[in-house]
Structures are given as structure tokens and as C-alpha cells.
Structure 1
Amino acid sequence: MMADQVLPALVQRRAELAGELQKAQGHVQQLHADLASLDAVIRQFDPDYPVASIRPKYRRAETPAEHGAMSRSVLDILRRAGEPLSATEIASRVIAERALDASDKGLRRLMVKRVGMALRYQRTNGMVHEVATEGVAMAWGIAR
């Protein structure tokens, strides 16, 4: 019977979600305690400081392109290509490898920008170099 297979999976998933919720609630409680401690220290320096008026500051969510993932992708693409490629060509291959929407012009511009940043960073590390080409676009190759 299908219910015999589905029910245990649903029960397991519910248990996992309940565990995540408990962990998150513990984290929220710790954040409240940390805020209360900071408020107390601020009031020690200035008892009249309006701590409630301090607006929250949100951190930007990390993207997959952070922590060297883009540089690794760029270097892998250049190694596999075996020939110099432009930043636009590399960006197109990154988009294809990550199964992103190749028709999104904004995404394409962003990827070309990130690829360019990764290439310039890797140039300072001696991993890639610029290659003279006949076309307008600058090509990049793996440093030997």
C-alpha cells in the first residue's frame, strides 16, 4: 500500500522540521538575550540613550558566487577550454553550467561583472593572464 511508504517519510520530515524550529527558537532567544545585554551596556554609557530607536541593520544574504566559487568556476572553465576566452564567453559558460536563465540580460551583465572581478583577482595571484586578441574583447588564459 502506498500509505505504508508515504507515512514514514512524512513523519520523518515533520520530525526534522520540528527540530529545525526548536533550534531556530533557541537562536531567537539567544539573540534577545544578546540585545538586552547590549542595551544594558549602552545605558551604562548613556542612561538616556533611546536604544529602541536604533533601526535594525540587515545583512546581505550570501550567494553561491561568494567564498571563491566564482574564481574556481572561472579557472575550471579556462582549463577545460584549453584556449583563451573573453569574460563574456566565460560568463556564458558559467550561466550554462549553473543552469541559469541565459536569456536574462540583467543576469548576463551581472555574471560578466563577477567573472571580470574574479579574473582580475586571479591575475594578481598569477593564475591567469591577459592575451592579446584581434577582436575588441580582451581574452584571458591560464598562466603557465
Structure 2
Amino acid sequence: MTDYMVEGLVKKRAELAGEIERNQDALHKLVTDLEHMDATLRIIAPDTEIEAIRPKVFKAPEDWSKRGEMARIVLSILRTARDPMTSREIAAQMVIQRGLAADQKMLKLMTKRVSTCLKTQREKGRALSSEGPGFHLLWVIKR
């Protein structure tokens, strides 16, 4: 094997070991916090069966975006658009791109999220809005 390959593998192994160590520290803190919570419950409500309390696991819905992903997709759609677009048109295109369920409920939710994202991008100076048909705003990317 070549030296640069070994060097890369060693570096990656060190990163993974560091990540495991950070996760173990975080896990230790969570276990300690849970023990303190249990002790507090035993003092305040001694008749509570702590073992009967089921863990609540958080699972993000499919329609959530990773950090910054929404803004990247919205700005990308605006960059490739020939004409100004409404937030609903952008949301419809986003639903198609991401392969989400194309029903009215999803479109309404994504329109609301796109609108919020666009307002933030306008504040940052990356997007511009103008009055469109009805009460809708037309959005373009700032060039």
C-alpha cells in the first residue's frame, strides 16, 4: 500500500475514535442527568414507578430539512428560474425535487416553510421580493 493511503486511514481512524469518545462523554452526561431526574422524582413523588416511565424517542419527520438545506434548495430554485416565483411555486418545485408526498397538506406546510426561509434570505440580502398577483409576493435572487 502507498504511504498516503495508510496516512489517510490512520487520520480517519483517529477522527472516528475521537467521535466515539465525544459520544461516550455525552452519553455519560445524559445518564447522570437521568439519575438526578429519577432521584428528584423519588423525593417529590415517592409512589411513582420510575421503571414504568417509557422512553420517548424523537424521530424527525421525512419532510424536515437538514441545517441550511432549505435555504440552499430555495436559492437554487430561484437561481434557475426565468421569472420571479411565488413561495407556493417554489414549494411545489421543492416537493417534487425532494420526492415528498404531493398532497395539499404537504404543499401548504412547505409553502409556509419556504416563505419563512425567503423572508430570512431577504433580511440577509440574498433575495428580493415584489408585489405579485393578489396578496402574493414574487421572489427573485439578488444578483
Fold shared per TM-score above 0.5: yes
Residue equivalent to 2:85: 85
Q: Structure 2 matches for 1:20-39, cutoff 5 A?
A: 20-39=19-38
State the aligned residue count. 130
Contact 1:79–1:142 under 8 Å retained in 2 = no
Query: What is the alpha-carbon distance in structure 2 between the residues aligned to residue 33 and residue 140 of structure 1?
Result: 51
Q: Secondary structure at the match of 2:47?
A: coil
* More displaced stretch, 83-92 vs 18-27: 83-92
Question: CA offset at residue 131 of structure 1?
Answer: 2.8
Question: CA offset at residue 43 of structure 1?
Answer: 0.6
Q: Structure 2 matches for 1:11-90, cutoff 5 A?
A: 11-61=10-60, 63-64=64-65, 70=70, 73-74=73-74, 77-78=77-78, 81=81, 83-87=83-87, 89-90=89-90
Question: CA offset at residue 5 of structure 1?
Answer: 2.3
Change (3 A) 1:36 1:54: same
Question: CA offset at residue 130 of structure 1?
Answer: 6.4
Change (3 A) 1:82 1:24: same
- Where does structure 2 lack aligned partners over 5 or more consecutive residues? 123-127
Report percent identity of matched pairs: 31
TM-score by length of 1: 0.62
Q: Secondary structure at the match of 2:2?
A: helix
Give the superposed CA RMSD. 4.0
